Chains A and B, each alone.
Chain A
Amino acid sequence: MLRLENVEVIYDDVILVLKGLSLQVPSGRIVALLGPNGAGKSTTLKAISGLLEAEEGEVTDGAIEFEGQRIEDLPPEKIVRRGIFQVMEGRRVFEDLTVDENITMGGFTRHDRAELQRDREMCFNYFPRLRDLRGRLAGYLSGGEQQMLAISRALMARPKLILLDEPSLGLSPLLVQEIFAIIGRINREEKSTFLLVEQNANLALSIAHFGYIMEGGHIVLEGEPEKLKSNEDVKEFYLSGGGKKSYKAIKSYRRRKRWLS
């Protein structure tokens, strides 16, 4: 469904952040994108959604293909209309809009009133807590509630692909469990495809169907969750949380060439 091929992203005309990144997200799947701080995970998502535009970033090389069509030059509002919706890192709810108004904004690109109403109910079914907070200003919600709202906003757009950037950020372990369980449910019940960026590798791999690990602007490892989880290096760096060395320093690491067709 989504294919990134040797994508290169440069900020402010000089800062090279993505250095030939390639990955694929098949329809109906949850794909996890893992990696340390500064690896370029958020940049990857923004390259896909077009939001780089607002940060003086630019895709300077490679291709981003969604459902067989190139999208790297489209403005973000067109990309949303194609069916890709990004839930940005740090939740980013409209703080001075109410919960209801935030949800309305999620469905901004749609005009089918009755369906929108039904989807609003669907959001409240996934996140019952939001129902009682409907009239509340989003800025006054707790972090967890804001994350639920951010995901609800995405659901309202009925996207084919949801780009989810660190949904666990700053939330208590219990709440993170709850939110991940709901992401899994949304994937199964609504058939939504997810590209999930996470620091919490264990958790992400527990719901993902496939995983990529990136470092320094490109993918260094990829595979089924089971394979990644049992990989000694992954265990050492991402699952135990005590990583010191870089992948590049590991002998067993071998960069595979991809799509050199």
Chain B
Amino acid sequence: MDFFLQLTINGLVVGSIYALVALGFVIIYKSSGVLNFAQGEFLLIGAYFFLAILENARVPLLVALGLTVVSATLLGLLMERLVLRPMIGEPIISVIMVTLGLSSILRAIVQGIWGTDTHPFPALFESSPIQIGPLPVSRGYLFSVVSSAVLLLAFTLFFRFARVGVAMRATAFSQQVALSMGISVKHIFAISWSIAAVVSALGGVLLGALRGGVDGSLAVIGMKALPVVILGGLDSIGGAILGGLIIGVLENLSGGYLDPYFGGGVKEVAPFVVLVLILMVKPYGLFGKVRIERV
């Protein structure tokens, strides 16, 4: 039982970070219809950048986080401006290919700067766990879960109630009609790219802290967002959250219980098996919107 509980908690912690990264994915998809394959690199850059600030500037944790957020915002704006804006009006599939290219370029740049070795993360939290009921929970885990939860809630409310949030959904429906309302589609894209870059960077920092170090494999984890969002429904924020948690827990449980029998690797495969099963029943994902079709 203890083993099960431990695995589940681990799963929820990692899952909440997946959810955060998936949120970035969904935001870009929702407003522009583009799947951003450079999302993993956003994670990587965020984590490295945070590390660099922490090591070189010796500033408090929160300041380093703040600076990471600022630079991620700039990164998102830059990507949108340099790479995606020239592509406005081109077929979506071309734009998606561009993000694939972007992913390779960013990865090369990151490797050029930081190399391929694992950079250890400094211990950000005291190692003594916090007692929640009968369970001892590590401070790092708690910080991860709480900050992911706060961010996810904030963005859910933003899309539901904020004018700009609603405008982002409107733009997702039709750019031309959004333009006719006086909504600047360019601004909307810029906002979604910077939000995506910020949540990914924070996800990268949290993951780095959890794993105790950063290397290129973090970008691979970033792409876990793909099964997460497909599971949750590409355009649903609630779906991204639940999808993230489900995949996180599934991974840990299947890894914990089945890996000994299969000699490892189940953890990586299990989410995709579940994904396929769910998509057979719900082709739009758990919460994807079924297109309104009427004549």
Most A CB contacts (10 A, CB to CB) among B166, B178, B180 go to: B180
Please report the C-alpha to C-alpha distance between residue A140 and residue B290 in the assembled complex, in whole angstroms.
13
The answer to whether the Cβ of B220 comes within 8 Å of any Cβ in the partner chain is no
The answer to whether the Cβ of A139 comes within 8 Å of any Cβ in the partner chain is yes
Instruction: Find A76's partner among B166, B173, B182 (CB 8 Å cutoff).
Output: B182
Instruction: Find B184's partner among A55, A77, A94, A106 (CB 8 Å cutoff).
Output: A77
**In the complex with contacts A94-B170, A95-B173, A104-B163, A80-B180 CB distance below 8 A:** yes
Q: B235's closest neighbor in chain A, by CB?
A: A96
The answer to whether the Cβ of B167 comes within 8 Å of any Cβ in the partner chain is yes
> For chain B, which range describes its interface: under 10, 10 to 19, 20 to 34, or 35 or more residues?
20 to 34
The answer to whether the Cβ of B194 comes within 8 Å of any Cβ in the partner chain is no
Q: B166's closest neighbor in chain A, by CB?
A: A101
On whether the beta carbons of B177 and A94 are closer than 8 Å, the reply is yes
On whether the beta carbons of B166 and A105 are closer than 8 Å, the reply is yes
Question: Which parts of A86-142 form the interface with B (CB within 8 Å)?
Answer: 86, 88, 92, 94-97, 101, 104-106, 108-109, 137, 139-140
Q: B176's closest neighbor in chain A, by CB?
A: A54
Specify which chain A residues have a CB less than 8 angstroms from the CB of B184 in the assembled complex.
75, 77
On whether the beta carbons of B166 and A51 are closer than 8 Å, the reply is no
Shortest distance from the beta carbon of A164 to any chain B beta carbon, whole Å: 12
The answer to whether the Cβ of B175 comes within 8 Å of any Cβ in the partner chain is yes
On whether the beta carbons of A53 and B179 are closer than 8 Å, the reply is yes
**In the complex with contacts A51-B176, A56-B89, A81-B170 CB distance below 8 A:** no
On whether the beta carbons of B181 and A97 are closer than 8 Å, the reply is no
The answer to whether the Cβ of A149 comes within 8 Å of any Cβ in the partner chain is no
**In the complex with contacts A104-B166, A105-B167, A108-B167, A137-B179 CB distance below 8 A:** no
Shortest distance from the beta carbon of B273 to any chain A beta carbon, whole Å: 31
On whether the beta carbons of B182 and A94 are closer than 8 Å, the reply is no
On whether the beta carbons of A77 and B89 are closer than 8 Å, the reply is no
Contact with A along B83-96 (1 / 0, CB 8 A): 00000010000000
Specify which chain A residues have a CB less than 8 angstroms from the CB of B183 in the assembled complex.
77, 105, 108
Contact with A along B156-178 (1 / 0, CB 8 A): 00000001001101100111111
On whether the beta carbons of A157 and B294 are closer than 8 Å, the reply is no
**In the complex with contacts A92-B174, A97-B173, A108-B183, A137-B292 CB distance below 8 A:** yes
On whether the beta carbons of B179 and A76 are closer than 8 Å, the reply is yes
Q: B183's closest neighbor in chain A, by CB?
A: A108
Q: A140's closest neighbor in chain B, by CB?
A: B292
Contact with B along A72-83 (1 / 0, CB 8 A): 000111001100
Specify which chain A residues have a CB less than 8 angstroms from the CB of B89 in the assembled complex.
54, 56
**In the complex with contacts A96-B169, A108-B167, A77-B179 CB distance below 8 A:** yes
The answer to whether the Cβ of B289 comes within 8 Å of any Cβ in the partner chain is yes
The answer to whether the Cβ of A210 comes within 8 Å of any Cβ in the partner chain is no
Specify which chain A residues have a CB less than 8 angstroms from the CB of B175 in the assembled complex.
54
Please report the C-alpha to C-alpha distance between residue A92 and residue B180 in the assembled complex, in whole angstroms.
10
Shortest distance from the beta carbon of A173 to any chain B beta carbon, whole Å: 20
Instruction: Find A157's partner among B173, B182, B289 (CB 8 Å cutoff).
Output: B182
Specify which chain B residues have a CB less than 8 angstroms from the CB of A55 in the assembled complex.
176
Please report the C-alpha to C-alpha distance between residue A88 and residue B178 in the assembled complex, in whole angstroms.
11
Shortest distance from the beta carbon of A123 to any chain B beta carbon, whole Å: 15
Specify which chain B residues have a CB less than 8 angstroms from the CB of A29 in the assembled complex.
none
On whether the beta carbons of A94 and B179 are closer than 8 Å, the reply is no
Specify which chain A residues have a CB less than 8 angstroms from the CB of B289 in the assembled complex.
96
Q: B169's closest neighbor in chain A, by CB?
A: A97
Please report the C-alpha to C-alpha distance between residue A129 and residue B150 in the assembled complex, in whole angstroms.
39
Q: List 7 A-B contacts (CB under 8 A).
A: A50-B179, A77-B182, A92-B177, A94-B169, A105-B181, A140-B292, A140-B294
Which residues of A does B touch, CB under 8 Å? 49-51, 53-56, 75-77, 80-81, 85-86, 88, 92, 94-97, 101, 104-106, 108-109, 137, 139-140, 153, 157
List 4 tightest A-B contacts by C-beta distance, closest first. Answer: A80-B182, A139-B292, A109-B182, A54-B176
